[in-house]
């Protein structure tokens, strides 16, 4: 058996015996697809164009000549090397085809095994190299985009620091100033009762507290981004229960009526900064909420965590669309997304994994298509203070 990720040979011949002889000669050396009609070969090429490195065809076949078939193969799989097996009597057609660049090699019947073997090996080697070049090109383009993204991120962090600074300061002075206003209003309320004003006054402290926490979170994210861009490390620890509850609050707008979130777990500290943990949880919650799109069921997002002796397992589970098995390996790669432009950039999970792994933890995914997804983080536990 040949590995399935190596380029294969497509051999086309209307003679069943020739097909068997070809398989017997080269089946051990190469991955081979065999077709007995040009129509079958064209259908296979359409389906497996990226897998085929060499197309080798007999010249005389009913309905279509080998040269005609290879001409069509050129449009379907332009990278595949095209070769022909022919009899002396067809020589003129073959020479024309070689001159037009439609055929790169031809073999005269009865073909010589060593000659065909060498040509197939060369053709497949070139196909493999071309495949590698394309892979490396793709990776370079991705790396370049990521580098640019890093610079842009550092710029954004820098620009955020100013407004976030005065937002934090103003929230602090607002809190101080409002104390006087609240005292004054409370006195007035005793003489002239107003339930609306009383309820606004009651809500003010917690609203301001949320504003202050939000502004601080923004500041920490900006600091974190700047530190990352400079290659610095922000060592810290967090209480899982606190961060989960804050992340759920921040995700409220995104989750809204798509799903109900439940949380379950005891307070426990982990060796992972609160800002980073919040960033990771937000990404997971937003992914879970977005996975409810089109499922037609009431969304559920369960966040639960349990502490072992040395680790804490933190799970974000949803009953959304699930992830097909064939892409599960890819979803942690930077820039991999199945979402339309403007909805996803494909960075969420790659950032999550990087942050968690940097802190000595791990990320595990289990997902069933059309049923739901579970992402489990394992984080280092810290002894309670
Ligand atoms: N809970 C989930 N349910 C179903 N699919 C998911 C879930 N989480 C991630 N995915 C799949 O993994 C892909 C990558 O996720 P990731 O968070 O890295 O990027 P994104 O959500 O597409 O974009 P971004 O997070 O950058 O806005 C998603 O496009 C989606 O196909
Ligand atoms: Mg995401």
Model confidence over 54-97: pLDDT tens digits? 999 999 999 999 999 999 999 999 889 999 999 877 888 888 88
12 found inside a domain: yes
Mutate to test the pocket of ligand 1, among 330, 333, 337, 373 (most ligand atoms within 8 A of CB): 337
Q: What percent of the chain has pLDDT over 70?
A: 96
Say if 3 falls within a structural domain. Answer: no
**What are the backbone dihedrals phi and psi of residue 53, each rounded to the nearest 5 degrees, phi first?**
-95, -30
Compute how many other C-beta atoms are within 10 angstroms of the C-beta atom of residue 91. Answer: 13
In the DSSP assignment, the letter for residue 382 is: E
pLDDT band at 259 (very low <50, low <70, confident <90, very high): very high
Strand partners, 86: 108
pLDDT tens by residue, 167-202: 888 988 998 898 888 889 888 988 888 898 889 888
Could you say which of 111, 129, 161 is where a domain stops?
Answer: 111
**Residue from 153, 299, 344 whose mutation best tests the ligand 1 pocket (most atoms within 8 A of CB):** 344
Q: Which ligand is nearest to the CA of 299?
A: 1
Token pair 């019947």: residue: 109
Written as six digits, the tokens of 269 are 């500290």
285 in a structural domain:
yes
Q: 274-330: per-residue pLDDT in tens? A: 878 988 999 999 999 999 998 998 899 999 999 999 999 999 999 999 999 999 989
The count of other CB atoms within 10 Å of the CB of residue 67 is: 22
Model confidence at 232, in pLDDT bands (50, 70, 90)? low
Residues 151 and 103 occupy one common structural domain: no
Residue 375 CB neighbours (<10 A): 23
Confirm or reject: Cβ of 339 under 6 Å from ligand 1: yes
| 150 and 268 housed in the same domain | no
Looking at the domain assignment, is residue 235 inside a domain? no
337 Cβ inside 6 Å of ligand 1: yes
Q: 111, 137, 165: which is the final residue of a domain?
A: 111
CATH number assigned to the domain comprising residue 49 = 3.40.50.2300
Domain range for 223 = 145-229
209 CA to centre of ligand 2 in angstroms: 28
Tokens of 132: 């590698």
Lowest mean pLDDT among 19-28, 152-161, 255-264: 152-161
Looking up residue 313, the CATH number of its domain turns out to be 3.30.565.10
Nearest CA to ligand 1 atom 9: 287
- How would DSSP label each residue in 4-66? TTS-EEEEE-S-HHHHHHHHHHHTTTS-EEEESSHHHHHHHHHHHGGGEEEEEEES--SSS-H
Instruction: Give me ligand 2 centre to Cα 347, in Å.
Output: 7
Ligand 2: centre distance to CA 286 (Å): 6
Span 199-220, pLDDT tens digits: 988 888 888 888 888 888 788 7
**348, 209, 227: which is closest to 288 by C-alpha?**
348
Phi and psi dihedrals of 166, rounded to 5?
A: -75, -25
Domain final residue, candidates 52, 87, 111: 111
Split into its structural domains, the chain has a count of 3
Please indicate, yes or no, whether residues 224 and 314 belong to a single structural domain of this protein: no
Q: Which ligand is nearest to the CA of 373?
A: 1
> Is the pLDDT higher at 46 or at 158?
46
Helical spans, DSSP H, in the chain: 16-26, 38-48, 66-76, 91-99, 113-191, 195-229, 240-250, 252-255, 274-290, 348-358
Decide whether any atom of ligand 1 lies within 6 Å of the 240 Cβ: no
CA atoms within 13 A on the CB side of 68: 9
Q: Ligand 1 within 6 A of 289 CB?
A: no
pTM score of the predicted model: 0.55
Residue 228 has pLDDT above 70, yes or no: no
Nearest ligand 1 atom, CA 351: 18
Which atom of ligand 1 is closest in space to residue 336's alpha carbon? 14
Give the span between the Cα atoms of 118 and 25, in whole angstroms.
13
Q: Are residues 78 and 16 in the same domain?
A: yes
Residues around ion ligand 2, judged by CB within 5 A, are: 287, 348
Q: What's residue 235's pLDDT?
A: 56
Q: Is 263 in the same domain as 337? A: yes
Q: What is the pLDDT of residue 1?
A: 45
Phi, psi of 298 (to 5 degrees): -70, 125
Confidence band of 231 (pLDDT split at 50, 70, 90): low
321 lines ligand 1 (CB under 6 A): yes
């Amino acid at each position: 058996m040949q590995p399935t990720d190596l380029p294969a040979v497509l051999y086309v011949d209307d003679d069943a015996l020739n097909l068997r002889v070809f398989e017997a000669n080269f089946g051990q050396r190469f991955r081979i697809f065999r077709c007995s009609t040009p129509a079958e070969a064209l259908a296979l090429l359409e389906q497996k164009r990226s897998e085929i490195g060499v197309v080798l065809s007999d010249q005389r076949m009913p309905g279509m000549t080998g040269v005609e078939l290879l001409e069509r193969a050129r449009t379907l799989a332009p990278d595949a090397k095209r070769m022909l097996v022919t009899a002396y009597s067809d020589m003129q057609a073959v020479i024309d085809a070689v001159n037009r660049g439609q055929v790169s090699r031809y073999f005269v019947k009865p073909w010589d095994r060593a000659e065909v073997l060498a040509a197939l090996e060369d053709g497949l080697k070139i196909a493999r190299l071309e495949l590698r070049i394309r892979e490396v090109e793709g990776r370079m383009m991705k790396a370049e985009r990521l580098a640019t993204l890093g610079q842009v991120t550092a710029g954004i962090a820098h620009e955020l620091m100013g407004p976030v600074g005065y937002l934090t300061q103003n929230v602090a002075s607002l809190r101080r100033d409002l104390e006087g206003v609240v005292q004054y209003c409370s006195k007035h309320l005793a003489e002239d009762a107003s339930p609306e004003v009383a309820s606004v006054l009651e809500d003010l402290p917690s609203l301001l507290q949320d504003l202050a926490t939000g502004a601080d979170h923004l500041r920490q994210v900006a600091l974190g981004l700047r530190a990352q861009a400079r290659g610095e490390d922000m060592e810290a620890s967090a209480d899982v229960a606190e961060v989960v509850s804050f992340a759920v609050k921040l995700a409220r707008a995104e989750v809204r009526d798509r799903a109900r979130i439940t949380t379950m777990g005891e307070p426990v500290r982990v060796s992972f900064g609160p800002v980073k943990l919040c960033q990771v949880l937000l990404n997971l919650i937003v992914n879970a909420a977005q996975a409810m799109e089109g499922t037609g069921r009431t969304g559920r997002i369960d966040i639960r965590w349990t502490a072992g002796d040395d680790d804490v397992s933190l799970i974000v589970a949803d009953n959304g669309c699930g992830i097909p098995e064939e892409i599960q390996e890819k979803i942690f790669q930077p820039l991999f997304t199945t979402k339309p432009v403007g909805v996803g950039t494909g960075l969420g999970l790659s950032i999550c994994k990087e942050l968690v792994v940097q802190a000595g933890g791990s990320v595990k995914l289990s997902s069933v298509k059309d049923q739901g997804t579970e992402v489990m983080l394992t984080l280092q536990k810290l002894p309670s203070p």
